[in-house]
Amino acid sequence: MHLPTHAVPSFSPLEFRAALGMFATGVTIVSARTPSGELVGLTANSFNSVSLDPPLVLWSLSQRSLSLDAFRAGSHYAINVLAADQHALALRFATPLADRWKGVDWTPGVAGAPLITGAMAHFECFNKSRYDEGDHVIFIGQVEQVAHRPEAAPLLFHGGRFYTEHPL
């Protein structure tokens, strides 16, 4: 049996990233607490559903992220889907700051992960599995609690820019 081989890409990493940017996404902040109680969080748009039964979601994180060890080791995390008026939070959690959480309004979820006040939706997840692929780690979360505000307008990301218009 002959197995096919993959072709060497004919495009640069920048071209690949630009093409990926054409896929419009929502914006999330993935949050957790370390065993010592420290809050961690980061902006991510690599969020997706996996399964309805059981309820599973996924997101991915760069192998170079300073938060990687905290998310790998933790038992739970929350995915906070941001509303249009939370653009400043998305930027804040996308850049390295000494204390990203200073002044951020949040409440602890059932397992302690921070739930950001005003988010459109919260997914409280058990850290079910992780897969190293390429330069990222793919996290699969089993959703234990969910909440949402359907009346809120979403924060969107497309082509390297944030958008706050509500879809028609």
Indicate the domain borders of the chain.
26-163
List, run by run, the mean pLDDT of 10-residue segments along the chain (168 residues).
77 87 91 93 95 96 93 96 96 88 96 97 97 96 96 90 74
Residues 6+ apart with CB under 8 A from 47: 25, 26, 28, 30, 57, 58, 59, 79, 81
Q: Which homologous superfamily does the CATH classification assign to the domain defined by 26-163?
A: Electron Transport, Fmn-binding Protein; Chain A (2.30.110.10)
For residues 59 and 18, give the distance between their C-alpha atoms in angstroms, rounded to a whole number.
20
Q: What does pTM read for this prediction?
A: 0.91
Helix spans in 24-135 (H): 68-73, 87-94
CA 164 to chain centre: 18
Whole-number pLDDT of residue 7: 83
Phi-psi region of 92 (alpha: psi -120 to 50; beta: other; left: phi over 0): alpha
